[in-house]
Amino acid sequence: MALALYRKYRPKKFSELIGQETNVEILKNAAAGNRLGHGYLFYGSRGTGKTTTARLIAKLLNCEKRHSDVAFARIGEPCNECRSCKEIDSNTSFDVIEIDAASNRGIDEIRNIKESIQTAPVGGKYKVYIIDEAHMLTGAAFNALLKTLEEPPAHAVLVLATTEYEKLPATITSRVQRFLFKKLPKTKIMEKLSAIARAEKIEIEPAALELVAAAGEGSLRDAESLLDQIASFNSKIDLATAERLTGRVGLKKVEEFASLVIKNDLKGALDYLAALNEEGHNLVQLAKDLIHYLRKVLSLKLNPGLEKIFHSELTSDEIVKLKKLSMEADVQKTVRLIKSFIRAYSEMRYSPFAMVPLEVCLAENLG
């Protein structure tokens, strides 16, 4: 069985971790100064590198070369060559224990951790417990974890990872070092996907690759999984093929649709919507993409200085088109449009007639 791309190309050192530069710098400096903590909390969107970073910390703590070579230890990276590093990479290390709190959320599971954490590491110097989806733990489980999290044995480190920080009790978050993992910019995801496509000899057009990156919505893992899926297509993957396989509309189509809406062209917008529907595109996703695009138009209209921020999400050509559209847009009308499309999007998600709320929205605002 082929290894999934997101597992095959998982970062093996901090320098390969993209989009989290601040976190990487802090952790590398802590490792270089031998100041790694006993408890961490990584929180943020899915597929942004939380579990990967937890494993990198485990490698840093147990890397044999770092313990024997003082000069190498100052680099703040694992060697990826020693027995311990290789075992962690292959998920065969007995000193790295990963727990899915979504399915092991009760007090009994935490009691098992409290008992096993007291035993010495098997092969390395540290035992590292990675508790994924930590927000799923029960109240009793959190209470049972408190003392262990505050004062773990000298040979133990606990790393909690969650996508829902607000569900964690303050008593837990106050006992750990907290790191926010941001959504990745589309440009960063495209760079990584492009490198993977070259390595895997996947023939894919830049526009199609951009669509895959955008479909990840800030999650590198989601984008890599999607690339893995469409890589099974035998011939070269163009934009039309990527749209058909993902059910998502490319940015160019969203731009054209937004242009018709901003220009108050009701007939053109309805015709364009009908054509997209005929091609089998996901209209719910189209509405979502349109809302995001119009939000950018409005933001750029109100504050042209935001252009530098959008460069992480859009290409130079896309920025030019966005600026042109923002100059044509009316602020009050665009605000009304965004509100109407948000309402239509909410209705479309639960309606058997996904196209109707969108058509009504266009008729109300462009008629």
Instruction: Read off the CATH number of the domain in which 356 is found.
Output: 1.20.272.10
CATH number reported for the structural domain that contains residue 52 in this entry: 3.40.50.300
Query: Which residues have a Cβ under 8 Å from the Cβ of 284 and sit 6 or more positions away?
Result: 345, 348, 349, 354
Q: What is the mean pLDDT of each run of 10 residues along the chain (367 residues)?
A: 85 93 95 93 94 95 93 94 94 92 85 90 92 92 90 93 94 95 91 93 90 89 91 80 79 91 94 90 90 94 89 80 92 94 92 89 87
**Final residue of a domain: which of 151, 181, 211?**
181
- Tens digit of each residue's pLDDT (9 = 90 or more) over 349-367: 888 888 999 999 999 988 6
For residues 118 and 233, state if they share a domain.
no
- Residue 26: the pLDDT is 96
Domain boundary among 246, 263, 298: 246
Q: Are 47 and 221 in contact (CB under 8 A)?
A: yes
CB-side exposure of 310: number of CA atoms within 13 Å? 23
Q: Are residues 41 and 138 in the same domain?
A: yes
One domain, residues 165 and 312: no
* pLDDT (0 to 100) of residue 338: 96
pTM, whole model, 2 decimals? Answer: 0.82
Give the gyration radius of the chain's Cα atoms.
24
Do 295 and 168 share a domain, yes or no? no
Instruction: Verify that 85 and 213 share a domain, yes or no.
Output: no
Residues 195 and 174 in one domain: no
Whether residue 160 is found in the same domain as residue 196? no
Structural domain range at position 201: 186-246
Assess whether 51 and 116 both reside in one domain: yes
Distance between CA 163 and CA 144 in Å, rounded? 22
- Please check whether residues 226 and 269 belong to one and the same domain: no
Q: Identify the pLDDT of residue 104.
A: 81
**Side chain identity at residue 294, one-letter code:** L
CA 126/CA 117 separation, integer angstroms: 10
Angle between helices 283-302 and 266-278 (to 10 degrees): 140
For residue 307, the one-letter residue type is E
Helix (H) or strand (E) holding 149: helix 139-150
- Among candidates 300, 302, 308, 288, which has minimal Cα distance to 324? 300
pLDDT attached to residue 182: 93
Output the pLDDT for position 279. 83
Q: Which two tokens stand for residue 325?
A: 């559209």
Q: Which of 181, 213, 233 is the last residue of a domain?
A: 181
Domain CATH for 203: 1.10.8.60
Check whether residue 32 and residue 164 sit in a common domain: yes
Q: What is the DSSP secondary-structure string of 65-90? A: HHHH-HHHHTT----S-SHHHHHHHT
Q: How many domains does the chain have?
A: 3
pLDDT digits (tens, 9 = 90+) for 245-274: 777 778 888 999 999 999 999 999 999 999
Dmax (CA) of the chain: 74
Helix (H, G, I), strand (E, B) or coil at 320: helix
Whether residue 54 sits in one domain with residue 14: yes
Q: Are residues 164 and 63 part of one domain?
A: yes
Q: For position 198, what pLDDT does the model report? A: 92
